[in-house]
Amino acid sequence: METPKLTIDRIRKYLSEDKRFDGRKLGELREIVIETGISKKAEGSVRVRLGKTEVLVGVKLDVTVPYPDGQDEGVLMTTAELLPLSSERFEAGPPKIEAIELGRIIDRGVRESGFIDFKKLCIKEGEKVWIVYLDIYSINDDGNLLDASAIGALAALKNAKMPKYDSEKGKVIYGEWTNNKLPLVDEKMAINVTAHKIGNKIILDPCREEEDASETRVSMGIGLGKDGFMINSMQKGNYGTISIEELERILELAGSQAKDIKSKIDKVK
């Protein structure tokens, strides 16, 4: 069901007065809730609620042959499924462009930041490495599935334990875990924050109706270093334009919220 034009017009009018329907400030996020241990079968799993938007994210590990250009590095595979139960706009079947794009944005943010130490996922160079499957499932779409999924991806990776591995048989012993966590570099974690432009206003964390009113969006993977923010990845969506001044404003808003998001993810064990 599409958002009526009358509602979109009201959203734009409210934003022109720096107001939002739910009373938030333009750069304010909804409440973030992270639950761990959702799946008994996965190496790591979380449920993330961002307002009424909800996603499940799981991590599974297996052993595979390394890529030709990374003989001593592990592999990351990220997929997203936008389930029909989460929105009447999603259909069953092969992934549509929205799911493919979401998975790629999350994958790029994790990969380009260096958050996973892929070299430590090498079992035998040129022959066997660990592959990390990062699976995202939408449960309820009330806007901003991108950032909810990104939070879930980072939290699930932090929650994951390495399964036992039989080196003689070359097989993973599923259902049995070691005390070792995934090799992560916490200081390289990149927080994905998505900003939307509606009229001449920039907002963060849109609800479903605000997302429908959006003319363009920019997702940034923000690294939080000692010397300030670092952009690890960036993706623009929709057809509208963004000026340099607006991009600077987006970075300012995204950077300020990234700190708060990271503090919540840091609590995950």
180-210: pLDDT as tens digits: 999 999 999 999 999 999 999 999 999 999 9
pLDDT at position 269 is 85
The residues near 64 (Cβ < 8 Å, ≥ 6 apart) are: 75, 128, 129, 130, 131
User: Cα separation of 85 and 216, whole Å?
Assistant: 26
pLDDT in tens, 70-122: 999 999 999 999 999 999 999 999 889 999 999 999 999 999 999 999 999 99
Handedness of CA 250, 251, 257, 262 (dihedral sign): positive
| Number of Cβ atoms within 10 Å of the Cβ of 121 | 22
pLDDT in tens, 236-264: 998 889 999 999 999 989 888 999 999 99
User: Cα separation of 124 and 151, whole Å?
Assistant: 32
| Number of Cβ atoms within 10 Å of the Cβ of 167 | 9
pLDDT at position 257 is 93
Q: Residue 219 in contact with residue 107, Cβ under 8 Å?
A: no
Q: Which two tokens stand for residue 82?
A: 């936008």
| Number of Cβ atoms within 10 Å of the Cβ of 37 | 12
Q: Which residue has the tokens 């994210």?
A: 57
Paired with 164 in beta bridges are 173
End-to-end Cα, the chain, rounded Å:
39
User: How wide is the angle at C-alpha 59 spanned by C-alphas 58 and 65, nearest 5°?
Assistant: 145
Asked whether residue 10 carries a pLDDT value surpassing 80, the answer given is: yes
pLDDT in tens, 155-172: 999 999 999 998 888 889
Asked whether residue 30 carries a pLDDT value surpassing 80, the answer given is: yes
Domains of the chain: 12-265 (3.30.230.70)
- According to the per-residue pLDDT averaged within each range, which of 36-40, 132-136, 170-174 is highest? 132-136
User: Cα separation of 60 and 109, whole Å?
Assistant: 19
Q: Residue 138 in contact with residue 50, Cβ under 8 Å?
A: no
Establish how many alpha carbons lie within 13 A of residue 263's alpha carbon, considering only the half-sphere containing its beta carbon.
6
pLDDT at position 16 is 92
DSSP assignment string, 217-241:
EEEEEEEEETTEEEEEEEEEESS--
Q: What is the mean pLDDT of residues 146-151?
A: 98
Reduced to 3 states (helix: H, G, I; strand: E, B; else coil), residue 46 is: strand
